[in-house]
Structure 1
Amino acid sequence: MSELLDLGAAQDRLISLARPGPVLDLPVQQALGHYLASDLTARRTQPAHPLSAMDGWAIRGSDMPGPWRIAGESAAGYPYDGTVTAGQAVRISTGAIVPDGADAVLVQEQCTVSASELAFAGDPPRPLNRHIRPVGLDFREGATVLHRGDSVTAGALALAIGAGHATVPVHVPPKIAIIDTGDELVAAGNPLASGQIPASNGPMLMAMLAGMPCDVTGSDPVPDRLDQIIAAFERVADVDLVITSGGASVGDHDLVRPALEAIGAEVDFWRVAIKPGKPIMVAKRGSQVIIGLPGNPVSAFVTAHLFALPYVRALMGASAPLPVMVRQTCTSALPKTGKRAEFIRAEIDAGDIRVLPVQDSGALHAIAHADALIYRPLFAPACEPGTVVEVIHI
């Protein structure tokens, strides 16, 4: 029996297998959820002209405290085409270009207009250009605005467009197949015989991948017969990643590993020092990677967050594919751990973390309500409520 592999070493070995696909230029509006395949540089400067940050009046600071003669208006999209000279003021809108000659903006609430004359009754802006956005405040032409491996979020999408891009370079989305194995499994909605249960892992894994722009396929559960599991693998020989659930342990009916050997796949590692999820398996067949998750729903759920989803992100070109851990206060007591790191299902409660009451590896209720996984390292001591712990938000 193989020795248990450390979590960090197992994750590193898995991520090292990822080979992102070819690069394509995708319209920015279609790139949400992808990762950039190269750095993105600005094709323009923003703002390209000094802009007003307030509604008010553009003046020359040397003319303070006024009064001023009103010379015209600068609106967003309709700049004033003259130059502000001594004693002149130009009405200006937020986002409008500050006219040549002006170096200050007076906010409108501190100004009064009588006929064609402007008076000011407040304190001068300090510094003088306080209400002016300078050229290049956001970015300048040629500057790197987004980096290779960055996620194309809604904000990144806006930045790319603002920097002058209609398309962005991303990797071709990976093809993924999900195989659920087990004699006891029945597709959702079908009648159950004695000893059978609805097959929830496959649909759950597809739902976990739904937010990623990948080509994901599933199938009805595959029974614990070696020939049928081999056939299931052969049907998906052309995909980049196969995720299985069930059949990865050491029982007489755990046939995923023999099936992998039969199709010529090489097991990279098997069994990781974590709880739940110890019997996770990773194998390689040519350029295809197979991730064998445990069959217990909670174990599959946890290991998908720790291994399957990070690997998909790595396939898509993410620079930081592994889940991020943050530190939060736990309002529940936590027992000591042993020779496996533990991931405890928890919910966020007013900014703190609270352990969910049922932690059994087959309990679906806990994963339905879990907002987070509390990470407990090997041989961690017991801790009282109020202890700061490391947490993965899910």
Structure 2
Amino acid sequence: MTGPLPLEDAQARLLALAPPVRAEDVAIEDSFGRVLAADLFAARSQPAADLSAMDGYALAADGGSVQWRVVGESRAGHPFARTLGSGEAIRISTGALMPQGADRVLLKEDALVDDGTVRCAQMPPAGSHVRRRGFDFEQDSTVLSKGTVLGPAQIALALAAGHARCAVAAVPRVAVLDSGDELVRDPAACGPGQVPASNGAMLAAQLAPLGVRAIRLGPVADTLEALAAALEEAEDADILVTSGGASVGDHDLVRQALADRGAAIAFWKVAIKPGKPLLVATRARGDAPPQVVIGLPGNPVSSFVTAFLFVLPLVRAAMGATASLPRPVAMRAGEDLPAAGARRTFLRAVHDGRVVREAGSQDSSALTALAAANCLIDRSAGAAPLRAGEEVMVFPLHGA
């Protein structure tokens, strides 16, 4: 058996197994948070014609004219109906269509208006305060690339480009299974030696911002028969996430249950803390793409951290995201940190955007510190002690 994999190696191996992206057609207004499955090309130019960028007067400039006769108005949605002739001007509003014959806008505050005429102390240069046709984007140009996550600005751009619908990556089907004889579904009904089953709900909540409505299974008893039944129930899922039972104890049976059902173990154990006993496998499903199985540790903090580092990136990859891994940022340590151990360690911590401190107990069962944390401090294996004020790399948890 080879030793635990480095984090980046394990992530790369996992992402190489990502289920293929399936495309589906959705309304643009329902596409928030989804990932484009194909490049989006503009169906129109923006703006579709020359527009005024300011309130003022559109001028038909010629020769040495310094005075123009005001012959009408152009406002948004109500353009001036004819071509401007020599010596003519119209009142114009921001965003209104420039009339034929006009080549510049005199700002309202610079205009001298008297009895139906407008004058200026200084002629504005040609093109002043005009938004030219297509300056934002031209028809048939690529406005959004495949793999783009659609946020508010991207939705606005897609609509402006003339699209009411778009092709996005379908959200993969994800099943979450937590196992353990000690787990009780009803948190108010725990007997001696029992604990509420919280990991399944936690993992489902981690997946929810990606648009995943996880199928919940369990808690499942620590028997091969119960696990086999649960695995059969989860067969339609593209990704199966298990929590608990992936370690080396006598009652950690997930690996055996998967092997009994023909799953191929891709790798087991990652050189990180918390989360070393991570299991990744694939399971054939007839003509369908193989199911990807990620076995997470049962301790809640370990389960949370490994879901953040592995499950969420896998789901993003299955949704076609071009950048699926979380990205660290540099911050200043708000306190001294001791030397790191033999494994790369992720400390639950709190940051204010500049300075970061540990959130509390780093025990892998400590939910209070996890709930207080908004980031993970990344400490390399064998890292030297760190003094307060020195730079440290941090993974923000929210919005990542």
TM interval, short-chain normalised? over 0.9
Shift in Å, 1:289 = 0.7
For the 8 Å contact 1:188–1:200, the answer to whether it is kept is no
Answering whether residue 287 of structure 2 is matched by residue 284 of structure 1, we say no
> 2:329 is matched with which residue?
326
> How is 1:135-284 mapped onto 2 (pairs within 5 angstroms)?
135-284=133-282
Distance 1:221 1:340 in 2: 30
Partner Cα distance (2:63, 2:88) in 1: 9
The one-letter code sitting in structure 1 at the alignment partner of 2:277 is P
Structure 1 stretches (4+) deviating beyond 6 angstroms? none
**1:129-178 Cα shifts (integer Å, max 9, x gaps):** 34222221211111111111111222212211111122211233211110
One of 337, 340, 344 as aligned partner of 1:341 = 344
Letter in 1 for 2:212: C
Give the Cα separation in 1 of the matches to 2:360 and 2:244. Answer: 25
Could you tell me which residue of structure 1 aligns to residue 311 of structure 2? 308
Return 365-374 or 282-291, whichever deviates more.
Answer: 365-374
Deviates more, 1:222-231 or 1:308-317: 222-231
How far is 1:260 from its partner? 1.0
CA change 1:174–1:98 in 2 (3 A) is same
CA contact (8 A) 2:204 2:213 kept: no
Q: Does residue 375 of structure 2 align to residue 372 of structure 1?
A: yes
Distance 1:63 1:351 in 2: 60
Shift of 1:385: 1.9
Match of 1:392 among 392, 395, 398: 395
Structure 2 residue runs without a partner (length 5+) = 285-289
Say if 1:243 and 1:64 are closer, same or farther in 2 by CA, change over 3 A: farther
Distance 2:186 2:94 in 1: 56
Distance in 2, matches of 1:178 and 1:261, equals 19
State the secondary structure of the residue aligned to 1:29.
helix
**C-alpha distance in 1, partners of 2:81/2:231?**
70
Indicate if the aligned counterparts of 2:207 and 2:213 stay in contact, CA closer than 8 A. Answer: no
**What's the secondary structure of 1:12's corresponding residue?**
helix
Q: Evaluate the alpha carbon distance shift between residue 119 and residue 335 of structure 1 in structure 2; reply closer, same or farther with a 3 A threshold.
A: farther
Deviations 1:169-222 (A, max 9, x none): 123321111001111111143311112111111001111111223342103311
Contact 1:174/1:215, CA 8 A, preserved across alignment: no
Instruction: Kindly provide the amino acid, as one letter, of the partner of residue 218 in structure 1.
Output: R
Matched to 2:83, the amino acid is T
Residue pair 2:19, 2:292 contacting (<8 A) in 1 also: no
Q: Find the aligned partners of 1:258 and 1:46 in 2 and give their Cα distance.
A: 59
Structure-1 residue corresponding to 2:47: 47
What are the superposed Cα offsets for residues 2-58 of structure 1, whole Å, 9 maximum, x if unpaired? Answer: 411011110011000113243222222222222111111111111111112222222
Q: Percent of aligned positions with the same letter in both sequences? A: 47
Measure, in 2, the Cα distance between the counterparts of 1:64 and 1:276.
78
Query: What is the Cα deviation at residue 233 of structure 1?
Result: 0.8
Superposition deviation, residue 350 in structure 1: 4.9
Q: How big is each residue's C-alpha offset from its partner over 1:248-302, in whole Å with a ceiling of 9 and x where there is no partner?
A: 1111121111111111111101110111111111010011011011111111111
CA displacement 1:220-255 (0-9 Å, x = unmatched): 311212211121111111111110111111111211
Name which of structure 1's ranges 94-103 and 311-320 shifts more when overlaid on structure 2.
Answer: 94-103
Name the stretch that deviates more: 349-358 or 56-65: 56-65
For residue 329 of structure 1, report the CA deviation from its aligned partner.
2.7
2:24: which partner in 1? 24
Q: Shift of the alpha carbon at 1:61? A: 5.4
State the AA in 1 paired with 2:207.
Answer: L
Does residue 82 of structure 1 match 2:85? no
Partner of 2:287: none
What amino acid maps onto 1:53 in structure 2? A
- Could you say what secondary structure the match of 1:221 adopts? strand
Aligned to 2:15: 15
**In the alignment, residue 138 of structure 1 is paired with which amino acid?**
D
Aligned residues: 392
Query: Residues 296 and 128 of structure 1: is their aligned pair in 2 closer, same or farther, counting only changes over 3 Å?
Result: farther
Q: How far has the Cα of 1:307 moved from its partner?
A: 0.4
Distance verdict in 2 for CA 1:322–1:350, change over 3 Å: closer
Q: Structure 1, residues 69-121: CA drift from partner, whole Å, max 9, x if none?
A: 21211111111122233332211111111222222222323334333122446
* Distance change in 2, residues 1:357/1:128 (3 Å): farther
TM-score when normalising by structure 2: 0.92
User: Is the contact between residue 217 and residue 230 of structure 2 (CA under 8 Å) also seen in structure 1?
Assistant: no
Q: Distance in 2 between matches of 1:271 and 1:22?
A: 30
Task: Supply the AA of the counterpart residue of 2:175.
Answer: A
Distance change >3 Å, CA 57–CA 181, structure 1 → 2: same
